[in-house]
Chain A
Amino acid sequence: MTLSKDDPRLLSYVLGELDEAESREIEAALDGDPEIRAEIDALRMTAEMLREGLAERAPKELPAQQRKVLEEATRETEMPKVAPLRRRLLRPSWLAAAAVALVSIPIGVMLARRNAEPVTEQARKDATAFEAPQKENDKKKTTAPRPKDDTKIDDATRREALRMLQEERAAQGGGVPSQIPKPRRLTARSKPRADENPFVYTTSIARTTFPLDVDTASYSLVERYIQEAGRRPPKDIVRVDELVNAFAYEDPPPFGDEPLAARAEVGYAPWTPSHRLVRLVLKAAPLDSTRRPPANLIFVIDKSPGFAKDPDKLPLLQAALRRVVSRLDAQDWVTLIEHGGPSQEPWLPPTPGDDKPRILTAIDRFEPSGAASPGDSIERAFKAAQAHFVEGGVNRVFLATDEQFAAGSEQGRLAALIRDKATTGISLSTLGFGPMDGPAGQTLKLLAEEGKGSFAPIGGPNDARTALVDEALGTRTPIARDVRVEVDFAPLYVRSFRLIGNEDRTGPEREFLDAWKGPVDLYAGHAVTALYELEPRPDTSGGSEAPPVPYLLTLRVRYKDATGQTSREIEVPLIDDRYRGTQSTDFHFAASVAAFGLLLRDSPFKGEMTLADVVAMAKKSLGTDPGGHRARFVNLLELVEFTPETGRKLPPRKPPPRKGSLCQPGDSLCSEL
C-alpha cells in the first residue's frame, strides 16, 4: 500500500482510532517507508506535547470546598429542594439552572461540621450513618429460616469487592489516578434494560452475532444478594448471559493444533417446550505449558532498601523469577533492570534464556541501593524490550515494586510512553508487593492498563508465582486473534429467534457499547456460551413425504491464528435432533441457570417454569462438577425459596455487608474501577 504522509489516517493511527485491520495496514506501510515513520513520530511527539502541556497548566482536582458541595449534592438528591448556594460564579441567568441542578444543601450540614476531616473519611461516615436504619430493616426481613451452612460466601469474591472499594476510596482521596485517561473497557456496561430481547423474525433478520467478551460479575452479585442480604436481587442486576458464563462447562477442547473449537447443541426450551433452546459454545485450547510462544521479558525491580529487605517482597520475587527462568530456553530473552538504582546499565543485559547460570546469579545477587526517578528505568526497559523484540511472542516489561512507589509528576509522561509502547506490541505488567490499597496500587493498576498488561497485587508466594509464571510464559498471549462469530438461521425451519441475556448490549441506544461486535482476541482456556431461544416453523409438509433434514442454523467462527497472519474459519451446522435426546449435561445445566435468571428477572418469556423445576433440572445435570460450583448453585436455588421478593418501591440499597460502601451492586462504574 502506498500512503501519503499527508493521509489523515496517520493521525487516527497515532490516536488509536483505527481498527486492527487498518492499523496493520499502516504498520505495513510504515515498515517500508522512513518518511511515513518520521511523520508518525512527529505526530506522536506533537500529541504528547499537547497532552502534557494541557495537563500541566490545569489543576488536578477540584478545591476541597467545591468538592464538598458536590458530595453533599450527590447525597441529598432525594431530599426536599432547598437551594442555598455558595458560589463564586453566580450570574442571574445561571441561577435558575443551578437551583434545579443542585437539588439541596442543608446549610447546617454543609458548613458546620466537617472542615477538619478529610472528605473521603466523612463520606464514609455519612454513608454508614445513612445505612444504619436500613440495616435494621434488613435484619427484620431475614429472620426467615435459612440453612446455616449455605450462608458462607466465596472469599475470593469478597476480597475482590473489597479491593475494588479500597481502590475507589484511594481514587477519591488522591485524585491522582484521574490524571491518566482510562481506556474504555467493555466491562463498563450500562444498566441493563428491564425488558428482554424480543423474538426476531428470520424473515427480516436471519444473521446475528453474540458477544465474546463475557463477564461473570452478575452471578456473584446475585449470590451475595441471596446469601448475605437474604433477598432476591433486583431484576436489573440479573444478567442471564453472565450467570450462564459464570460456570465451567466440559465441552471437548479443540482438536489437534486448532486453537478454537465451536459447538452447537439444541433441545427443548424447558420453559416453553414448543420452542427450542440452542446452546452455542466457543472454546479456546487450554494452556499447553510445553508449547508456548517465545518470550522477551524485562523485569524492572525496585532497588530501594525497603523493598529488598522485606521478606515478603524481593525474596518472593526472586523465588518466582527462578521458577520462570527454569522454564525458559534459547528462544527467550531475559533482562533485569534496577528501578531506583543509580546505574544506567541494566543489572542483567538481555540474555538468552538458556544461559541459566548467568541469569540465576544475577537474580540472587540483586541488592538494595539508593534512589532515582521511576520513568527512567522504565524507558530503559522499553529500549531493551525493543532490542530483542520477538515476533508472535510475549514482549513484556514487568515492574516490580511496593507501596512506596510514586510516579509523581512523571506519571503523565510515563503513561503516554507506556501507552505508546503498548501499540507497538510491548506490554507492561505491574507487580505490587505490600499493601496495595493506597495511591501506589492505584498508579500501578493504571500503568498496567495503559500497558495492556495486568496489575497483580502480590501477597504471598502463590500470587507471585501465578502472576509471573502465567503472565511471563504466555497465558496472556491471545491464541486466536480477531475472532468474529456469525449465526445464520435457516428461515425455512426457524420462524424467530431470541438471544437470551445481553439486554444491555442490544438496541439502537447502545451504539456506544457495540464495541463487542468488533473482533475479539481469545486467550488460552477461554470459553463462551451463548443461548438462543428459537421458535420453530410449524411443520407444513403434511407428513406424506420423508421430512427434509430440519436444519436450524450455521455457526461460523472466523479468526486469525496467534501470529495474526493466517485466517481460519470454523463452520458448525446445527440440525434439529431434539428427538434423539443427545444433549450434553452441560446443555441442561446451562438451561437451568438461564431459567433461574429468567425467573429472577420475572421475564415475560419465563413460561410455565417454577423454581422447583429449576432445582430438579439443575440437580440432574451436575456432571462431574470439579470445583463444587454447580452444587453451590443448587444450594443457592434452594435458598431462594426462603427469600422474599424485592419490593419494587424499595430496592435494597446496600446488600453487601460492608459498611460505608460507595459501590452499589451492579454498578458498572464500580465494576470498572
Chain B
Amino acid sequence: MPSEPTSHWVLLALSRYEAPLLRYASAIVGSAQAADVVQDTFLRLCNQDRAAVEPHLRAWLFTVCRNRALDVRRDKRQVEPVAEVDEVMPDNQPGPTEALERREAMRRVLGALDTLPERQREAVLLKFSGDLSYQEIAEVLGTSVSNVGFLLHTALRALREQVEKKDREAGRRNR
C-alpha cells in the first residue's frame, strides 16, 4: 500500500504539529511568512510514504520546515530578529509589578537570542518552540546527541549572562 487514498494522517499530523511548527518558523522568518513555510512543509508531507516518515515524523517535519524557512530567509537576505517583542508585548501593559518584571525578563531573553551563534540559536529554537528531544534535534541539525546537549547548555548560559548584563546596566541607569 503506497499511500491511503485519503491521507488523513497528514491532517492528524497537522493538528498536532502546526502550532509548534508555526512557532519555530516564526522565529526564523517572522510570523507573517511562517504560515507559508508551514503550509509548504505539510504539502510535502502529503507526498511522503507514511511508513517511511512516521517513525521520525517530528524530526522530518522540522527538518523540512527548517530548510523551507532558511530558503525564505536567504531570499530576503536579512535575518529576521526573533525579538519583534515590542509590537507583541507592549511595555505599558497594566498588571502587577511581578508580571511586568517577568515580561521584561522574557523580552530580554528573546532579545538575547539573536546574539547567539547560529547553531546554538537553532538548537534553542528547535527545543523551545518545537519541543524536540535532543535526539530529534540532533537529527535535524545533523549532529550528535551529546553535541546538542552541549549547544543548549552553552546557549542557555550565554542567554542568562546577557540578561544579567542588561539587568546590571538597567540598574546603573536607574541609579
Contacts and interface: CB of A to CB of B under 8 A. Distances in A.
A78 interface: yes
A6 B158 CA distance: 12
Contacts, number: 214
Contacts of B63: none
A6 B150 CA distance: 11
Interface string B4-20: 11111111111111111
A8 B1 contact: no
A651 B1 contact: yes
B116 to A, nearest CB: 11
B85 A53 contact: yes
B61 interface: no
Contacts of B22: 58-62
B159 A168 contact: no
Interface string A523-545: 00000000000000000000000
B26 A51 contact: no
Interface in B8-62: 8-20, 22-23, 25-27, 31, 33-40, 42-44, 46-47, 50-51, 54-56
A535 B20 CA distance: 49
B72 interface: yes
A667 B128 contact: no
Interface string B112-151: 0100000000001101111101110000000000000110
Contacts of B3: 77-78
Given A57-B84, A63-B35, A168-B15, A50 B46 contact: no
A60 B8 contact: no
Interface of B is mostly: helix
Contacts of A177: 15
Interface string A188-204: 00110000000000000
A74 B6 contact: yes
B11 A101 contact: no
B19 A61 contact: yes
Contacts of A512: 55-56, 135
B107 to A, nearest CB: 8
B54 A54 contact: no
Given A17-B133, A175-B15, A670-B12, A509 B55 contact: yes
Given A42-B160, A50-B124, A59-B35, A77 B19 contact: no
B35 A62 contact: yes
Contacts of A11: 149, 152-153, 156
A98 interface: yes
B149 A181 contact: no
Nearest to A100: B47
A510 B55 CA distance: 7
Contact of B38 (A12, A43, A62, A175): A62
Given A57-B31, A123-B11, A512-B56, A75 B6 contact: yes
A462 interface: no
Contacts of A670: 12
B161 to A, nearest CB: 11
A15 B4 CA distance: 37
A60 B17 CA distance: 10
Interface of A is mostly: helix
Contacts of A62: 14, 18, 22, 35, 38-39
Contacts of B27: 54, 58
A668 B55 CA distance: 10
Nearest to A55: B23
B110 interface: yes
B75 A102 contact: no
A130 to B, nearest CB: 7
Contact of B43 (A57, A102, A669): A102
B36 A89 contact: yes
B16 A182 contact: yes
Given A73-B46, A101-B44, A54 B110 contact: yes
Contacts of B125: 54
B66 to A, nearest CB: 15
B65 interface: no
B79 interface: no
A66 interface: yes
Contacts of B88: 56-57
Interface in A7-50: 8-9, 11-12, 15, 17, 42-43, 46-47, 49-50
Contacts of B55: 190, 509-510, 512-513
B106 interface: yes
6 contacts: A56-B88, A70-B46, A77-B46, A191-B54, A669-B13, A669-B54
Interface of A: 6, 8-9, 11-12, 15, 17, 42-43, 46-47, 49-63, 66-67, 69-71, 73-75, 77-78, 87-89, 91, 93-94, 97-98, 100-103, 123, 127, 130, 168, 171-172, 175, 177-179, 181-182, 184, 190-191, 234, 236, 509-510, 512-513, 651, 653, 662-664, 667-670, 673
